[in-house]
Chains A and B, each alone.
Chain A
Amino acid sequence: MIKAALIGLGKMGISHAAILGGLPGVELAAVCDTDSLIRSGFEKLTRIPFYSDYKKMIEEVRPDCVYVITPTRLHFDMVMYALEKGCHVFCEKPFALTIEQGEQMAALAKSKGLVGQVGYHNRYIGTFNEMKRLLAAGVIGRPFYFMGEAYGPVILKKKGGTWRSEKGSGGGCIEDYAAHVLNLINYVTGSTLVDCAGVQMPGIFSGEVDDATYGSLRLENGMCGQISVNWSDDTVRKMTTSVKIAGDGGKLEADATTLKIYVREDKPEYGLEKGWNFRYITGLTPQVDFNLRGEEYTLEDAAFIKGIATGEVDGRNSFESALQTDIIIHKMIADWESNFKAAKV
């Protein structure tokens, strides 16, 4: 039985806590938060021991792994402390506030031989994995262009309130929404975003941070593309993420529910006929033991726990891969600040 402890009981923290409560092979031994309402709720309604000091929790509980589900600016101290104490760490995204901090966390996990995982859950969605598989197999020939998009109705009014709307805290559309898209492009292409240009990050309702992120990007393998991300978009009911990839032999278009495959010729070895082919999430989703909000959240936690228990680390969401996402985010912010911010309307 793997013993887990969790720091940070916001929306994602509570969600991970519940999944850990429902998964076999893991015991949620303690949780930690500084909010008195949350503390009272956990103490009155659950049997999970509660701490308000994470160091004390780790000292006393001696967990095998620690979930760090706090605002980004707090990740570094907490992750480093947990690693120093020999705990495997699951950290929510975005990974680090600065590249140096991200490098230090990744290096420490590696030197101590501990599993580090970051919560980019799209890497556990069946449609995107099938897209990755077919792309690598060359079904659309040589890929030359990608388009990554995400839209959702998060910020629809002018007002702040939480850390997400504070500049420098790891909030804003680029850190919260676009990070998912950038990370997913790296994953499905098996390459790394290295360069950007023409980045625009308009604030639509928020004062200090961006509500949308647009820009052109280039992957290490030479493929170019763009992203279009907006979290102030109420034309969709919830966050909707998609990736399209064009190749000289066809096209792949994936969202969380459907993978559309266009091939110029029959590919019987992949069950594909010339023209459009559709694959649905129903046929691409592994069975999970406990489901809360979607299989991908269970799958990421189950993979992390399994890696610790068996040594079979899937490495899909390593600290290193999350750091690559932070690096391109920083480049995009720098591009926006140098080129366009002066002309902001």
Chain B
Amino acid sequence: MWRRRRDALIGMGLLLPSAALVFAFTLFPVGYNVWLGFYAKHSLRATSTWVGLGNYAQLLVDPDFWRSVWLATVYAVASTTLQIVAGVAGALILHRRFPGCDFLRGVALFPYMIPTIIAVFVWRWLMNDLYGVIPYLLGTLAIPGMPEAWLTHSTIMWVLVVLSVWTFFPFVLVNVLARLQTIPPELYDAARVDGASAFRQFLNVTLPQLRNVLLIVLLLRGIWMFTKFDVPWLLGFGGGAGEAIRTLPVFTYQRSFTYYQAGMGAALSNVMLALLLMAVTLYFVAFPPEADENDA
């Protein structure tokens, strides 16, 4: 009995530094942010005024806010879907061993490792309206209706999506690849004996096995794409077309540091937090996790 209690104390003691840091730097700021959302506060001055739900009431009737929610949704849905398609395709390509397999695996992970700012600036250069190599190559194909410049109001969202897929699809690839490696080969042998085509095998063997990892990847990537600030901000600033990719996180940043409305910025962050909590709750209600043997 005393041994059990001593163990519990040691366990809690070991956890204490982490718990204190997570509380101080993650949970407390999030709580503080909820409270800030009820104030009108200048980002740099110390004064603040209680406005209750005033910030939220103002957002409800602000067309710019709704537009930013719409743009963030378009961005999150398009880039998450394509990342998952590209990630699964990449994982299937790299699943079986072939000469140069390790090299290609390394290359495929690399876009995810380079700093966001470099990824975005390289793509701004690749897509440059005057000197970009990709618009040039696309131009040589002479497809009718192909835009000549891509970093413009009507097309910059596409560039944002493609660039984001390039940067973030390795996250999907690696998680799917790790799972693929654990699927017993007997399942495929059985399917083959039954005369299943490669496509049928993918549909009936691979996909069901990947279900759980795809669901968690979808949840994480969806949340992180919806709340992505640096990619749209770095792609859009310094050009009029930035307005066409002013997603909710960019809008939040501008409220907080262009207009210095810290209270409003906090309220916008709380909107994102609420959406995140809703998504996570829905996820765990729909797909309850199996009991963790270590949590007994």
Chains A and B come from one and the same complex:
no
